[in-house]
């Protein structure tokens, strides 16, 4: 639990941090969404337990630009580095609970690891599914045991293959494999077929051998690949590999806790941009309907990442908003938060840079400017000339509600007291408020360039 934790109204546990976007699930779908959201200026957290379907890949197929010898873990490792490079926080943990904070305002959620809670404005579920696994004997995944038809059918062209299972999909995959090879067996392993009469008729009209006996053993080649299966009736049949078809267990616990609609197959229902039936909750990848492929998951993630940004970005202000809040003042732009601004201007790919870290705070001489970009490091808390705001040690003010008084010798002298929700640089809220007709909404923060003249007179946390 973070030192800076405050009590959560929703559950009474502790809030370790707050984010614009929280992605649960660090496979290709979630990673892609996180990359887009981070590079579009959002403060992004990713929570990943690891060991998803992409992590099971021995080789990567169908991903243009990625050579086939790249394993799933190598692919994911590179992607994890990429999102952190753009400022996303990667938490290697499992999210057990998710709930909406129902205060009648904009969507806001709290997710929990069991130990810590995190607040977030938007939540994206990319939790994938687990394949139903038959009993042994089974060869090694990628060496005779294959879970992805569109990825691996190609390697069985003109080879002897099996399909294991008793349901509709097992029967159909067996027939589909005839597009690649003439030698296809359907192994029911002693279980009763569950496919329909129509499918049985279809099967009869295709050269697929249906083997009903249970397996008794397995032979492997020296290189680890499957050689043959032995059956209880004493026969042996040679196979190069095959596909078990025992259904998919969709990881929808969090979606169900949040009330998201599921379809009859148990997948999360989404629109074309990954929006679920619940406002502010998005979902992408294998846990949603569609082809279970990395490029598809990445495309869905990209679309959702852009949709998240469009949901959260502050400008352009609509005519209604201009009427209620006024025109956009110079002090409000750019809207990108200090941490994301700093990450962007210090990035190697930045058009004007990479700038030195302190250059992100132009012309200022902060007493403390924490710029630690280590993944999962404490939030930045910055104290500027005048009375030091507060101890800027790890955690600082992140997520706290504080009241403070500030005098501004510039345009608007006098003392003010206003509650703000501090996210990163608490003083920004005051400055923003000074230049706007009403106090900022919680979470609004501004980059530090504008407030050198502010003097802090008191602060209460």
Ligand X SMILES: Cc1cc2nc3c(=O)[nH]c(=O)nc-3n(C[C@H](O)[C@H](O)[C@H](O)COP(=O)(O)OP(=O)(O)OC[C@H]3O[C@@H](n4cnc5c(N)ncnc54)[C@H](O)[C@@H]3O)c2cc1C
Nearer residue to ligand X within complex by CB, 88 or 336: 88
Continuous H helices in 187-258 = 197-204, 253-258
Min dist. Cβ of residue 142 to ligand X (A): 6
27 binds ligand X (CB under 6 A): yes
**Binding residue for ligand X, selected from 8, 22, 42, 60, defined by CB under 6 A:** 60
Question: Shortest approach of ligand X to residue 156 CB, angstroms?
Answer: 14
Distant-in-sequence, close-in-space partners of 142: CB < 8 Å, separation ≥ 6: 56, 57, 58, 59
Closest distance to ligand X from the beta carbon of 183 (Å): 22
Nearest approach, Cβ of residue 97 and ligand X (Å): 9
What 339-345 contacts at long range (C-beta under 8 Å, 24+ apart), as own/partner pairs, is 339/43, 339/87, 339/379, 339/380, 339/424, 340/38, 340/41, 340/42, 340/43, 340/87, 341/447, 342/371, 342/373, 342/380, 343/86, 343/87, 343/373, 344/41, 344/87
**Residue 460 exposed, middle or buried by CB count within 10 Å (0-12, 13-18, 19+):** exposed
Cα maximum dimension of the chain: 93
Say which residue the tokens 């243009």 belong to: 64
Q: Does position 49 bind ligand X by CB under 6 A?
A: yes
Among 78, 141, 412, 417, binds ligand X (CB under 6 A): 141
Q: Does 236 bind ligand X (CB under 6 A)?
A: no
Question: Shortest distance, CB of residue 255 to ligand X, whole angstroms?
Answer: 10
Smallest distance, ligand X to C-beta of residue 300, A? 8
User: Shortest Cβ distance from residue 440 to ligand X (Å)?
Assistant: 32
Q: Which is nearer to ligand X, 53 or 309 (CB)?
A: 53
**Cα-atom radius of gyration of the chain, to the nearest Å?**
27
**Residue among 11, 61, 191, 247 that touches ligand X (CB under 6 A):** 61
Contact between 24 and ligand X (CB under 6 A)? yes
Instruction: Decide whether 92 or 350 has the Cβ nearer to ligand X.
Output: 92
**94/315 with CB nearer ligand X:** 94
Q: Which stretch binds ligand X (CB under 6 A): 37-45, 54-62, 318-326, 382-390?
A: 54-62
Q: Per-residue b/e over 408-445, b at no fewer than 16 CB within 10 Å? A: beeeeeeeeeeebbbbbbbbbbbbbbbbbeeebebbbb
Q: Report how far residue 242's alpha carbon sits from residue 176's, in angstroms, rounded to the nearest whole number.
A: 13
Asked if residues 51 and 26 have their Cβ atoms less than 8 Å apart, the reply is no
CB 130 to ligand X: min, Å:
8
Token pair 């003392």 is at which residue?
415
Question: In which order are the strands placed within the sheet that holds 183-187?
Answer: 208-211, 183-187, 160-164, 241-244
| Part in contact with ligand X (CB under 6 A); list of ranges 41-49, 325-333, 343-351, 434-442 | 41-49
Taking CB under 6 A as the rule, does residue 62 contact ligand X? Answer: yes
126 scored as a contact of ligand X (CB under 6 A): yes
Ranges within 291-330 binding ligand X (CB under 6 A): 292-295, 297
Which chain residues interact with ligand X by CB under 6 A?
24-30, 47-54, 56-57, 60-63, 94-95, 126-128, 141, 147-148, 151, 251, 254, 285-286, 292-295, 297
């Amino acid at each position: 639990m973070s030192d800076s934790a405050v009590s959560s109204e929703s559950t009474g546990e502790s809030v370790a941090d707050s984010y614009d976007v929280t992605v649960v699930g660090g496979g290709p779908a979630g990673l892609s969404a996180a990359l887009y959201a981070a590079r579009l200026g959002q403060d992004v957290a990713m929570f990943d337990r690891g060991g998803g379907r992409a992590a099971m890949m021995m080789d990567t197929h169908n991903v243009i630009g990625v050579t086939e010898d790249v394993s799933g873990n190598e692919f994911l490792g590179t992607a994890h580095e990429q999102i952190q490079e753009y400022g996303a926080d990667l938490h290697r943990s499992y999210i057990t609970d998710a709930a909406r904070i129902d205060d009648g305002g904009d969507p806001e959620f709290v997710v929990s690891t069991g130990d810590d809670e995190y607040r977030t404005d938007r939540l994206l579920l990319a939790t994938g599914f687990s394949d139903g696994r038959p009993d042994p004997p089974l060869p090694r995944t990628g060496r005779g045991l294959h879970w992805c038809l569109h990825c691996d059918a190609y390697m069985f062209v003109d080879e002897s293959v099996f399909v294991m299972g008793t349901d509709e999909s097992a029967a159909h995959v067996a027939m589909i494999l005839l597009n690649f090879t003439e030698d296809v067996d359907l192994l029911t392993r002693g279980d009763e077929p569950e496919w329909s009469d129509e499918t049985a008729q279809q099967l009869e009209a295709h050269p697929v051998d249906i083997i009903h006996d249970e397996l008794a053993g397995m032979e492997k080649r020296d290189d680890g690949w499957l050689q043959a299966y032995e059956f209880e009736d004493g026969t042996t049949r040679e196979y190069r590999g095959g596909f078990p078809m025992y259904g998919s267990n969709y990881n929808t616990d969090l979606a169900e806790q949040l009330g998201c609609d599921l379809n009859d197959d148990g997948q999360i229902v989404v629109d074309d941009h990954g929006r679920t039936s619940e406002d502010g909750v998005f979902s992408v990848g294998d846990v949603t309907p569609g082809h279970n492929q990395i490029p598809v998951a990445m495309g869905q993630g990209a679309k959702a990442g852009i949709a998240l940004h469009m949901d959260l970005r502050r400008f352009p202000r609509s005519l209604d908003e201009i009427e209620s809040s006024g025109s956009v003042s110079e002090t409000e732009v750019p809207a990108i938060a200090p941490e994301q601004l700093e990450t962007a201007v210090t990035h190697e790919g930045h058009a004007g840079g990479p700038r030195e870290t302190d250059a992100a705070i132009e012309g200022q001489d902060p007493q403390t400017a924490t710029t630690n970009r280590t993944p999962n490091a404490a939030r930045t808390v910055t104290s500027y000339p005048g009375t030091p705001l507060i101890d800027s040690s790890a955690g600082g003010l992140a997520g706290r509600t504080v009241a403070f008084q500030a005098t501004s010798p510039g345009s608007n002298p006098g003392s003010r007291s206003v509650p703000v929700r501090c996210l990163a640089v608490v003083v920004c809220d005051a400055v923003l408020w000074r230049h706007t007709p009403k106090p900022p909404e919680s979470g609004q923060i501004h980059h530090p360039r504008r407030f050198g003249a502010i003097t802090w007179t008191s602060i209460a946390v």
